[in-house]
Every structure is written in structure tokens, then in C-alpha cells.
Structure 1
Amino acid sequence: MDLTFVQKLIDVVSRSPIGELQIECDGLRVRIAKQASPSISQAGSPPQTASAPSAAVPSGVASTVATTPRHSIRAPLTGVFYRSAGEGEPPLVSAGDLVEEGRKIGVLEAMKTFNVVEADRTGRIVEIVFGDHAAVQSGDVLFVLEEAG
């Protein structure tokens, strides 16, 4: 993904009615979000609240470009996802943990069989998508890693 493409996305979002756009391509994630202007309000629109403060950008559009490649670890099969190796044990990994390729990071139970979910590359866990005991489908993203480079 090149910078010219990202600039075009910013321009499109700034001129459109959408408030946010997120794209992931080849392990690179781009999120573009409009910032609400406190002086401009639309009649009949419900107030919007921000979940986290963000830096002010003069153009009214904030863009975040992930400079470190990201990688999704997906569920290899449909089943129940567990964050720990056994009942009452601590989670195998948490957001922010650095993991090596082959490290056990989760467990999937399918048809009374427990299957290990391993990191398929080295990186830092930036997101754990599902909570403990969640039902997942084959192909669902379980973890997002920032690749170690």
C-alpha cells in the first residue's frame, strides 16, 4: 500500500458522509476517521461520543497508518476458543506479549477434542479478538500480531 493511495482514501473520507474507514491489505492496516467538530452540529442527529481521545488534525480528518506489518492468526476449525490451557489456569497470552513462532497461545475445542492454537510467526500480540469460552468459526481472526522485524 503506497502513500498516494492512503492520501486518496483520506480525501474520499473527508468528502463523504462516512465517519470512519478501515482497510487491511497485505498485513498493513489503515484506519481513517473523521473528527467531530464541536462548532458544527446537525439537526436531528444523535450526539456522538468518542471512545478515546485523538489528536486534532487541521483538515478535520485523522489518519492512522500502521508502520509495523500486522498479521492475523485465524481459527483453523470451528469450536470453542479458550485463552488458557485448563480450567482455573491463567491465560496463555495477553495483549502486549511477545510470542515466538510455535508458542501455544490458545486452545480450540471441537467435538470433545482440544486443539492447540500456535503462533505461526514471531511478533507482539496487539489484539485478542475473542474472549474465553467463545464460539468461533473456522477462519475467524483470533489474534492480531505486530510482526517482529
Structure 2
Amino acid sequence: MTPACKILKAQKFEYSIHEYEHDVNAKSFGLEAAEKLGLEVEEVFKTLMVTDDKNFFIAVLPVNHQLNLKKVASAFGCKKLHMADPKVAERLTGYLVGGISPIGQKKRLKTVIDASATSLAKIYVSGGKRGLDIGVKPQDLADVLSAQFIDVVDE
């Protein structure tokens, strides 16, 4: 039971657990999850950390898209953002890269979820370790994270 699952359970959100055998040679954790779980890539979301060198933020977006740093900077009221160092992301979240869940991070960070999630009944995010995804209603995810839905992907 990861911190992400414990929080969803404690707050009585409905969720499903999906485990798969993680391949250490996989080039993309998110695409691997979609393939191994038999899900559409549009339903599987990755968790990315960005920073302006003072503050850190989280963006949750479909695994088959690239994050648009200008859009996410605007969403957080920043001039410019860049990807956080993976080691810093691990330290701040308490999770390993490839298993960083948007839920249950050590330090709660401001979060946005790509607006495409609102058209889906359920999305799948990392459950807090490699090889574990959790399926959750997009609005429940937004509620548990106090997150907003915003278009943050490159077209």
C-alpha cells in the first residue's frame, strides 16, 4: 500500500490498482504502462515536476504528449519554468522517477492536470512505484490534489 493508495482510501475515493512487471530497459515508463496494462495512451498520465529555481510544481499529462513549458508557466503565474532535476523530484516527492505519483508526495506541490482528462471516465496515474498504476476519475484526482484542469500539452 503506497502513500498514494492510502490517501485515496482514507479520503474514500474510488480507485483501482493495476500492476505489471516493469522492464528495466523500457525507454518510457508511461508508454510501457499503457502497453502492459492494455490501455489507450490517452488514458495513461505521467507526473512531471517543473521549477523556476525557487518553487516546484507538478503537471499531470497524457504519456504520449510533451509538456508545453510556456502553458504550464502561465498556469502557475511564472515567467519561465524548466524541468526539475530527477534527483530533486525524487527527494521532494519521496518516490522514484518512473513511479512518481501525483498523490501522496512528501511535500504537497501546486498541481495542474491536462484538460484532456476531463473527457475521460477514468485516467491512470502512477501509484507510487514502478509497475503500479492507479485508475481514478479525473475529478476525484483534481479534488484530492486541489488541482485545476488546464491545457498544458504541445499541440
Q: Which of the five TM-score ranges fits, normalised by the shorter chain?
A: under 0.3
* TM-score, L = length of structure 1: 0.23
Considering Cα pairs closer than 8 Å and 6+ residues apart, tell me whether 1 or 2 has the greater RCO. 2
Q: Which has the higher strand share?
A: 1
Richer in helix (by share): 2
Select the structure of larger CA radius of gyration: 1
TM-score by length of 2: 0.22
